[in-house]
Structure 1
Amino acid sequence: MSLRSLVRELPPAYFAMVMATGIVSIAAYGLGPTSIGRALFYLNLICYGVLVVLHGLRLLWFPRRCIADLSDTSAGPGYFTWIAATAVLGSQCIVLAHAERVATALFVFAAALWLVLSYAVFAALALRRHKRALEAGINGGWLLAVVAMQGLAVLATHLAGDWGQPVQLELHFAALVLWLAGGMLYLWLAALIFYRYFFFTLAPGDLVPTYWINMGAMAISTLAGSLLIANSGARAPYLQSLRPFLEGFTLFYWAGGTWWLPLLVILGVWRHVIRGYRLVYDPLYWGLVFPLGMYAVATEHMSRSMGLPFLRPVSVVFLYIALFAWGVTALGLALRMVAGFRRAAAGLRATARG
């Protein structure tokens, strides 16, 4: 496959690989072997740079295709991974490298992407002339819009703690607003997804890996809330008056995400074991790795901010589950790349013989 063909077919949601690698890196750095966390951080910097170049080429070479993706109910929500990946990488820069200036630049870039892409995607979907039926159009990928907002809230809270005044108050307020707006958006979208799952027939092909974002969106909302609770003192006194509200809704998000977990596992077993749906590498599987890593990080932060130490072992268990899932998905990507190189080499040899 030529570079041009690769770029043309590149899904907008491929930045989920950066999201997954970034959150597993943060989880490993905070809970497990820090060396793995650092190695994944450096790898993520490379992945982010490569994807920025590839998507930049796609915008340059195939602008009409990129614009068409905005109004596609399957591809359009994938653009939210651009925002979330940038925010997660920014959080990595703070947590692992204490690189405040780099993280600030990434925050500004992510905020600009959010202002442009979020309204572009939703406007394009709303104004689309021929709309797909609910059962064909809605899926867990739509909740990437929530993940993008909460990712910005998490990064804003990290930056507020490192930069201090005079921008600390403003960043905490921005994080609070994004956290609340993201929660509102989750309730709207999750109701539609819940309705689609339980009142329309499900086929194995309908259960794309991004349905795990149902849980991941609640996990990152838990993380954002936990960070706001942790900062509800001298750093942001006005958050202190909201602390009972912050704690209640943070626990609400964690409980909702935890409720999703057994159901998602059951649906996965039904898809691959009972119905025999073939398990092969798909870029969307990064959307399964991310929620697992995020659940580990969110549970650990909530256990600290709310004084629930008995939850920390849950974080450690999910760290290793996330590491395993990341390794399997990365292996699938590596095998796909090797197969692609072999096909390209065979094609070149055939051309040379001819």
Structure 2
Amino acid sequence: MEYRRLGASGLEVPVLSFGAGTFGGRGELFGAWGSTDAREARRLVDICIEAGVTMFDTADVYSAGASEEVLGEAVKGRRDQVLISTKSGLPMGEGPNESGTSRLRLIRSVEDALRRLGTDYLDLFQLHAFDARTPIEEVLATLDDLVRAGKIRYVGVSNFSGWQLMKSLALADRHGHPRYVANQVYYSLLGRDYEWELMPLGVDRGVGAVVWSPLGWGRLTGKLRRGQPLPAGSRLHKTADAGPPVEDEHLYRVLDALAEVAEETGKAIPQIAINWLIQRPTVSSVLIGARDEAQLRQNLGSVGWSLTPEQIARLEAASARTAPYPYFPYYRQEGFARLSPPIGR
């Protein structure tokens, strides 16, 4: 397994990490993702560690805390062999202090996560969303206290816009607080919006991408085909509306290109989609999920080989979208591109 620096930090993380959203199975959304219990989770963790996948990512909101609990049971007795990443900030209840990233909420969330995970520190703690109600200075000062207390090693964000992340980094530098080194983002051949603003920011500021949903919310598993209905049992029957939208024609254009490359390489469509991601600028790690051992082993086959430049070019041509303003001049007009060469395009 290849290891990479997490952004500009000194932390080395595997290029594939395991996303524990399938652990627990509570609620309609997360129940559709999976319902892995502690015994099954321990087997999946065994396979991951053996393959060098040593970072495990979860969140308090996943199955209302059950994902953290199951992950904690699965890594019990081998905490020193793994990196644990979790997130907080999304609502965990209807109370006035059960959402957001206020000082009260962050301290409580970290304490709750440590208890559920059965550990006394988190290797990576990420804000699950930007909280516009809480001053950024309050958030950063609280994270600083938690780092100094030894409860958090590194900090990151998820689902931030460019200005939200950049302002946070600037204030962290001004006040000497820990800087965000990870940005957990949605990025796939079906959703390349990350490339317009967040990727250049990551290159410039040393923020590593930890990619979630690399298979486009389950659309790039290889089960979908042009002109055919959703397969029976697909989680898309329950979760499609909750994921990033994609037009049918764009979806099938990408799937057609993936199928061509799959035939050429002898690799599965998901393996090709993930391999493309790990070759992208700023990507430190790609989160793979699995509801069973077979799915996990297939995803592990995404590393140890590389797509050719010609294959990459075909995939990128099929997945290309027109850039939104103010980015489109840089990709359509030579003068703009000379001033600011595109990154990752």
Bigger relative contact order (CA 8 A; separation at least 6): 1
Name the one with the larger strand percent.
Answer: 2
Instruction: Give the alignment's TM-score, normalised by structure 2.
Output: 0.28
